[in-house]
Amino acid sequence: MSESASFDPWIANDDLLRVFNWQEVFGNANPVEIELGAGDGGFILEYAKRNPQKNFIAIERLKGRVSKIAKRAVQRDLSNLRALRLQSEYVIGYMCSPGSISVIHIMFPDPWPKRRHFKFRLIQLEFLAKAHKALANGGVVRFTTDHEEYFQWANRVWASAPGWKNIGVWDASDDPKSDFQQQFEAEGKQSHRCQWMKI
Ligand SMILES: C[S@@+](CC[C@H](N)C(=O)[O-])C[C@H]1O[C@@H](n2cnc3c(N)ncnc32)[C@H](O)[C@@H]1O
C-alpha cells in the first residue's frame, strides 16, 4: 500500500474460510459489484471511478495482474475498489455471503474452445448455483465474450439452470472497455453480450 493511501486495495487471501462482510471491507453499505477474471483491470478501474456510489471487487488469479489493479486503485484514489487474488468460483461460492452482490461482471473469460476443455469454462451449472446464491434478489450477471460458440453454449447452460431469466443486452455504449475488449475490437472481432437476472 502507498504510504499516502488511506485504504489497502489488495484484500489478503490468507483466510480461505472467511465470508466477507462487505460493509466492513468498504466502510459503507453501498451496493457491491464484482468482476471475475478482471485481467489488468482496464474495465473495473474506470467503472469504479465513474461510479463512486458503488463498491467494486476485482477477482483475478494472476498475481501480477492483481498487483497492477491494486497499484492503480491507489494512484487513482479509488477507495471503492478492492482486488483479491483467488479463483472466481471459490470467491463466489464460499466467500460472498448470500444476497450480497448486485452485479457480477464477466468480460472475455477464457473460452476453452476444445470440447475436452469445456469443463474448464466458468459458466457451469454448479457455478451458476453459487452465483445465484451470492446475488441479491434481482441481481444480474453481465457476460461478454468475443467467442460466439462459448456464448451460445453459455446461454444454453443458463437456460437449463433454475432461477434465471435472460433479460437481454444492456446499453454498453458508454461502458469502459476491458483490455481484451480493446485488443479484440482493434482486430475487428465482434463482442457478444447477455444479461441474466436472478429470479
Ligand atoms: C481472457 S482474460 C480477460 C481479462 C479481462 N476480463 C479483460 O477483458 O481484459 C481472462 C482473465 O481471467 C483470469 N482467470 C481465468 N480463470 C480464472 C479463475 N478461475 N479465477 C480468477 N481469474 C481467472 C485470467 O488470469 C485472465 O486474466
Q: What CA–CA distance (Å, rounded) separates 175 from 151?
A: 20
pLDDT greater than 80 at residue 2? no
**Ligand 1, atom 20, residue with closest C-alpha:** 87
Higher pLDDT, 6 or 11: 11
CB 183 within 8 A of CB 132: no
pLDDT greater than 90 at residue 40? yes
| DSSP string computed for 74-116 | HHTT-TTEEEE-S-HHHIIIIIBPTT-EEEEEEES-----SGG
- Domain of 76 in residue numbering reads as 28-198
CB 32 within 8 A of CB 102: yes
Q: Which pLDDT score is estimated for 14? A: 86
Q: Given pLDDT bands bounded at 50, 70 and 90, which one contains residue 4?
A: low
Mean pLDDT of 108-133: 98
Q: What is the DSSP letter of 20?
A: B
Calculate how far, in angstroms, residue 36's C-alpha sits from the geometric centre of ligand 1: 7
What does the mean pLDDT of the chain come to? 96
110 is a catalytic site residue:
yes
pLDDT greater than 50 at residue 46? yes
Q: Which pLDDT score is estimated for 142? A: 98
Cell numbers at 197, concatenated: 437476472
CATH number for 38: 3.40.50.150
Asked whether residue 162 is domain-assigned, the answer is yes
Asked whether residue 6 is domain-assigned, the answer is no
Predicted TM-score (pTM) of this structure? 0.96
Q: Which pLDDT score is estimated for 7? A: 87
Calculate how far, in angstroms, residue 138's C-alpha sits from the geometric centre of ligand 1: 25
Q: Which pLDDT score is estimated for 13? A: 86
73 sits in the region (left: phi over 0; alpha: psi -120 to 50; else beta) called alpha
Asked whether residue 12 is domain-assigned, the answer is no
Asked whether residue 22 is domain-assigned, the answer is no
Exactly one of 15, 40, 77, 110 is catalytic; name it: 110
**In total, how many domains does the chain have?**
1
Calculate how far, in angstroms, residue 60's C-alpha sits from the geometric centre of ligand 1: 6
Asked whether residue 168 is domain-assigned, the answer is yes
